[in-house]
Chains A and B, each alone.
Chain A
């Protein structure tokens, strides 16, 4: 066991594969769930997967630009959440219990 763990090194590829799995779980969540709040959480999962990719490659290539990009992604994600939750609050106040299917009524 110790010989096995000593032989295995955690490479950037592991991080990239993990973030790919996280991204795909977010995609599946967006396609399957019907509660608009949960859809937002799944979008957060995807954003975090991309952030993890940036961080892993920033270390691999020794380039701090990846970390700066993650900083900007976090700022934009915060703004996106604020506006998105504002829209959801406005919709749910008018139609309590609305799901994403009900939002088809928006097309008028």
Chain B
């Protein structure tokens, strides 16, 4: 009962926010609709017992990424209303909706056909298995064991990726000095 109520409310938030992103003509309104969607997804994460990732979702996505979007919108002064009447190609929108409907029906078919699928057997290290067998409030512990034992190389590589991204952004956003070619 409660689960159904939470799911329906969160699903309405997610879909309403997504509709806002693709339908609002003002970029700031679209960014705020995106916040609604991200919060709805965070609620669904909690409902699916992913407490740590729900917190990360709110902090990183709703906190950092949307603020970055709003910052760029305000900074560049692109917060102008986009004219949604302009359609570059004649049949672009009907074609997009048709492609979307086809994709959705294929995905829904695949989901419904495979709804009784058995879980694959995965080789897991003993520490992760021990954390999984523990109580429900060990979500963070289980993720930490998994990330830092089974996927530690990937974790280190993401730190390299982040450093590369930061340096690249500084290079991209910097104004070239006089007499210097970009």
Q: Is the CB of A64 within 8 A of B132?
A: yes
Q: A78-B64, A92-B78 are in contact. List 4 more A-B contacts (CB 8 A).
A: A15-B48, A29-B18, A72-B151, A74-B61
Question: What's the Cα separation between A51 and B110 when bound, in Å?
Answer: 18
Q: Is the CB of A38 within 8 A of B92?
A: no
Interface residues of B in 75-97 (CB under 8 A from A): 75-78, 80, 82, 86, 88, 92-93, 95-97
Q: Count chain B residues whose beta carbon lies closer than 8 angstroms to a beta carbon of A.
A: 86
Most buried by A among B15, B69, B101: B69
Q: Is the CB of A16 within 8 A of B22?
A: no
Known interface pairs A26-B18, A74-B57, A79-B162; A67-B111 also in contact (CB < 8 Å): no
The SS class assigned to the B binding surface is: helix
A59 to chain B: closest CB distance in Å?
Answer: 5
Question: What's the Cα separation between A35 and B131 when bound, in Å?
Answer: 46
Q: Is the CB of B158 within 8 A of A72?
A: yes
Question: What's the Cα separation between A106 and B96 when bound, in Å?
Answer: 24
Q: Is the CB of A25 within 8 A of B61?
A: no
Q: Chain B residues near A20 (CB, 8 Å)?
A: 104, 107-108, 111
Question: What's the Cα separation between A40 and B164 when bound, in Å?
Answer: 20
Q: Which of B4, B60, B172 lies in contact with A83, CB distance below 8 A?
A: B172
Interface residues of A in 35-85 (CB under 8 A from B): 35, 37-38, 40-42, 44-45, 48, 51-52, 55-56, 58-65, 67-68, 70-72, 74-83, 85
Binding site for B on A (CB under 8 A): 2, 5-6, 8-18, 20-29, 31-35, 37-38, 40-42, 44-45, 48, 51-52, 55-56, 58-65, 67-68, 70-72, 74-83, 85-90, 92-93, 96-97, 101
Task: Give 3 closest A-B pairs by Cβ, nearest first.
Answer: A61-B119, A29-B22, A86-B172
Q: Chain B residues near A96 (CB, 8 Å)?
A: 76-78
Question: What's the Cα separation between A36 and B38 when bound, in Å?
Answer: 20
Which residue from chain A places its CB closest to the CB of B17 in the assembled complex? Answer: A45
**9 pairs, CB–CB < 8 Å, chain A vs chain B:** A2-B1, A5-B4, A15-B44, A64-B142, A64-B145, A65-B122, A82-B169, A87-B172, A89-B172
Question: What's the Cα separation between A71 and B15 when bound, in Å?
Answer: 23
Which residue from chain B places its CB closest to the CB of A28 in the assembled complex? Answer: B100
Q: Chain B residues near A78 (CB, 8 Å)?
A: 60, 64-65, 162
